[in-house]
Amino acid sequence: MKKTLLASVLIGLGLTAVHAHAADNELNLYSARHYQTDEALYQDFTKQTGIKINRIEAKEDELLERIRNEGANSPADVFITVDASRLAKADELGIFAPVKSKVLEERIPAHLRTDNWFSYSTRARLIVYNKETVKPEQVQTYASLASPELKGKVCTRSGSHPYNISLGAALINHEGAEKTEKWARDLVANFARTPKGGDTDQIKAVAAGECGVAIANSYYLARLMNSTKEEDKAVVAKVGAVWPNQKTWGTHINISGAGMLKHAPNKAAAVKFLEYLASDSAQKYFADGNNEWPVVQSVKVTNPALEALGDFKADTLPVGDLAKTAAEAQRIYDRAGFR
């Protein structure tokens, strides 16, 4: 009866059903990663282990609320999403269980993991500029985006988006809250338009000359670089990219990550899945499938766009620390009018 009721609720929500009872050869995954290329990742895990993945996909807040409501009866084994602050928020809710794994400790750098959740891929917050109107030496740091010489030239997505909040959280850690707030106010003063759209929209606006510079996650640019569409090739031809803060603390990075749920009915399968995500084959899927960098340093990247973007100095701030200043970053943005 309970299982029938659960299935009815899931169907009513328009979500894929998962099995409520434990099974040695199944894994129940709650995913807020919305990339079609992940299908190959999951299929490879099943092929290697024989463990079937039952998946529910939805937005982070919806999934977290669902896990909290399900409580000890939750069928969820693993929660996977993007953005360190979102994972930290999930951790604060007490939904994760600590995982002790020699494989994960050896393969994932210490600053990219916590006791309860692990990073599996990274994406960088880079600066994209119009080659005709802005020189790369003008935008070598995040601070330069607030320079008076870029008045009316900056485009970005909403300040309430986790990618920008994460950048603000990193700036607070490195520069302090006072400097970060001044930066945010000056950044807003430089806007070419009210923040709107996603990162791809910002890159296209730069190419079209609507903006001189934009902040964007690296994988959006890499996606355009790998595209065979003529319109995307035209966009790429008009823009350049800069890795900010190479002479100081490095370019800000964010992550995709996952953790095992506290009430996971299939804990052995959950650990196998978390370890699989750090395997060479899975790490290559992140790079080739979604233009993200592997966290395992020994994995060689063969993605043409990532290779073309080249090596860079990445910020090594522990991902768990970003969440500590995320709320403050949002308050700073609100006061600065970065919405």
Instruction: Report the CATH number that the domain containing residue 96 is assigned in CATH.
Output: 3.40.190.10
Separation between Cα atoms, residue 220 and residue 250, nearest integer Å:
20
The pairing of beta strand 293-294 with beta strand 52-57: unpaired
* Largest CA-CA distance found in the chain, in angstroms, rounded: 67
Of the candidates 243, 192, 196, the one whose C-alpha atom is nearest the C-alpha of residue 217 is 243
Q: Are 254 and 217 in contact (CB under 8 A)?
A: yes
- Is 35 a known ligand-binding residue? no
What integer pLDDT is reported at residue 36 of this predicted model?
A: 77
Q: Note whether 112 and 286 are within 8 A (CB).
A: no
Does 34 belong to an annotated binding site? Answer: yes
**142 labeled binding residue:** no
Amino acid at 8: S
* Degrees, nearest 5: CA angle 22-8-260: 35
pLDDT digits (tens, 9 = 90+) for 219-271: 999 999 999 999 999 999 999 999 999 999 999 999 999 999 999 999 999 99
| Whether residues 248 and 288 fall in one domain | no
Q: Do 288 and 184 have their domain in common?
A: no
Is the domain of 191 the same as that of 324?
yes
Q: In 3D, which of 322, 327, 326 has the Cα closest to residue 117?
A: 322
* pTM reported for the whole predicted model: 0.89
Total domains, the chain: 2
Q: Give the per-residue pLDDT at 323.
A: 85
Give me the residues of the chain with pLDDT under 50, please: 1-21
> What's the confidence (pLDDT) of residue 23?
56
Q: What is the pLDDT of residues 177-231, one digit of tens each?
A: 999 999 999 999 999 999 999 999 999 999 999 999 999 999 999 999 999 999 9
- Answer for the pair 162, 86: CB distance below 8 angstroms, yes or no: yes
Which tokens in the block code for residue 123? 């994406």
For 153, the domain range is: 123-252+314-336
Query: In angstroms, rounded to a whole number, what is the distance separating the alpha carbons of residues 254 and 112?
Result: 10
